[in-house]
Amino acid sequence: MWMQTTDPLGSLVVSALVAAIPIVVFLVALVGLRLSGIRAGLIALVAQIAVAALGFGMPVSAMAGAGLLGLLTALWPIAYIIVMAVWLYKLAVASGRFDVIRSSIGGISRDQRIQVLLISFSFGAFLEGAAGFGVPIAICAALLVQLGFRPVKAAMISLVANAGAGAYGAIGIPVIVGAQVSGLEVHELSRALVLVLQPLTLLIPFLLVVILDGLRGLRETWPATLLLTVVFSGVQAGVLWFLGPELADLSSGLAGMVALFLLGRIWQPRRIHREPGAPEPEERRIGLGEVVAAWSPFYILTAVILVWSLPPFKALFAAGGPLAALAPVLPMPGLTGSILTPSGDVVTAAWSFTPINATGTAILLAVLVSFWTTPQLRAADLVGTLRATIRELWPALVLIAIILVLANIANHSGGSASMGAALAAVGPLFPVLAPIIGWIGVFLTGSVVNNNTLFAPLQVATAERLAVDPALLVGANTAGGTAAKVISPQSIAIAAGAVGLAGRESEILRASIWYSVGILAFLCAWSGLLSIVLAA
């Protein structure tokens, strides 16, 4: 059995810097050299293998097991979810229903600043709460392109907008998992996130308007922006504080859409902002029934995923449940039971194959129900849109697989923990840097859930040494992860595939990176201030 270490080089700082080499290589290759995502990822993967083997002494067998786990995870459930979500969207386009969706959005407001608040922020949060795992980024970015936004801008806006909802995706799973692995109460962590993240959530709608049209845009749309941020953040904070994280995104996203719809009946900006080259929305009356039918694929999607997320349904496939045999957990040779962590725990990481209870299967069911209830569609449309989806997404899916192989090797070699431990060594300044650990975790794994699994225990252990509220630091870890989702390779690949820019991920990254850094800087400063105020 191989003993994992976070300080193989005798200096925690040096070990952490060595562990960070693959991240730096990836960013330089993607941003500086402007290589495609796949090429940059492959170069970074080679660097990661070298660092794990030579720097951290990871055996080849353990490296192979970790890489295999990353590859299988990329295929199932991540690629499965992405393909199903984009397939659902393409079916809506093929049926002609998307034209009605576009017209219904234009009916609320022709102003594209309002449309972004409606789609990327409100509807995106609704989808994040229902599905997560890149579904809102893929669907909202594609929607914006259809409305006339340039692909890079559509992707960047959807990535930034997701920062307001990413912590509570897929029925609050990141918070629930963060509480489980850190020993906190879910409600305790949920309330801490109100303190840590709500100031950022309040600012995101204003930031989106500024990105589109500067300060002039804020002056002209402040009634809509202010109403949305008050309603969305108020509902989200209330649900988090009194109920927990499960419905935080679904309820706030729905409330935001309703608020903008009602405001649109009585108020519109004096100057209508349209993106250069954006087509004017069609001026035609649409009946309520037609609008409901057009949006029905997304209602069906939400309903099915809600069923899949209910505890009784999950219990069917849990260990000891009546259908547990349909959700086998497969150990990875060379990894599962073969690595001992510095804390003395044996690594139990394994691949869960969930053909029935996977989120992707829920989306597949929504696809089939939507197909059966749409008379305009034929079997040829169903098959053709699936082929087109796979053809367009395969470069993005390959990049996701490369990054997850890299991330799993980094995690199980001890490299990720080394970077986190080095930051934790700064002592009283740690609350300022706590979000950076979360940022690193999501950049590596593409998932706030995985980030909390990896680093929430470290945050709690550090909080106890510093006499800081552990919930605050785990909340900061989660919040930092939402900042990283803006530029995590997995998110960038999903966005690129959705807007037809697979292979040009570097363009989206260059457009998004400073927003991610700015959000992270805000969270670092706010977390540090909160730690001082709460300790007083």
Whether the Cβ atoms of residue 308 and residue 357 lie closer than 8 Å to each other: yes
Evaluate the CA torsion angle 21, 24, 26, 29 in order and state its sign. Answer: negative
**φ, ψ for residue 47 (rounded to 5)?**
-65, -40
Whole-number Cα distances in Å, 300 to 48, 126, 143, 353, 494: 42, 13, 18, 24, 22
Query: Which of 478, 402, 523, 533 is CA-nearest to residue 190?
Result: 478
- pTM: predicted TM-score of the whole model, two decimal places: 0.74
Evaluate the CA torsion angle 386, 392, 394, 399 in order and state its sign. Answer: negative
d(CA 330, CA 334): 13
**φ, ψ for residue 124 (rounded to 5)?**
-60, -40
pLDDT of residue 60: 96
Which residue has 């995706």 as its token pair? Answer: 169
d(CA 489, CA 492): 5
Whole-number Cα distances in Å, 526 to 22, 247, 452: 29, 25, 20
Strands 329-331 and 350-352: antiparallel
Whether the Cβ atoms of residue 114 and residue 259 lie closer than 8 Å to each other: no
Max Cα–Cα distance, the chain, nearest Å: 71
Q: Where are the domains of the chain?
A: 7-334+349-535
pLDDT of residue 58: 96
- Cα angle value 190/191/194 (rounded, 5°): 95
**φ, ψ for residue 483 (rounded to 5)?**
-65, -35
Whether the Cβ atoms of residue 436 and residue 521 lie closer than 8 Å to each other: no
Whether the Cβ atoms of residue 450 and residue 73 lie closer than 8 Å to each other: no
Query: What is the full per-residue pLDDT of the chain (536 aa) written as tens digits?
Result: 899 998 999 999 999 899 989 888 987 887 678 787 788 889 999 999 999 999 999 999 999 999 999 899 888 877 887 788 778 878 888 898 877 876 777 678 888 899 999 988 998 888 787 666 677 888 888 888 888 889 999 999 999 998 888 888 766 777 877 776 666 787 888 899 999 999 999 999 999 999 998 999 999 999 999 999 999 999 999 988 987 787 788 889 889 988 998 998 888 898 888 888 767 766 667 777 888 888 788 778 778 877 887 789 889 998 889 999 999 999 999 999 999 988 788 988 889 898 998 878 988 998 999 999 998 899 999 999 999 888 877 887 888 788 778 878 988 898 878 877 787 777 778 888 889 888 987 887 677 876 776 677 677 767 766 778 888 998 999 999 899 989 888 788 888 888 888 778 888 888 999 999 999 999 999 998 998 888 76
DSSP secondary structure of 359-378: HHHHHHHHHHHHHHT-TT--
Phi-psi region of 35 (alpha: psi -120 to 50; beta: other; left: phi over 0): beta
d(CA 519, CA 448): 16
H or E stretch at 28: none
| SS3 per-residue string spanning 211-223 | HHHHHHHHHHHHH
Whole-number Cα distances in Å, 37 to 137, 450, 525: 18, 22, 32
H or E stretch at 8: none
Strand partners, 340: 3, 346
Whether the Cβ atoms of residue 200 and residue 476 lie closer than 8 Å to each other: no
pLDDT of residue 465: 67
**Lookup: tokens for 533:** 């105020």
pLDDT of residue 170: 66
**Lookup: tokens for 297:** 């694929």
Tens digit of each residue's pLDDT (9 = 90 or more) over 412-436: 898 878 877 787 777 778 888 889 8
d(CA 329, CA 309): 19
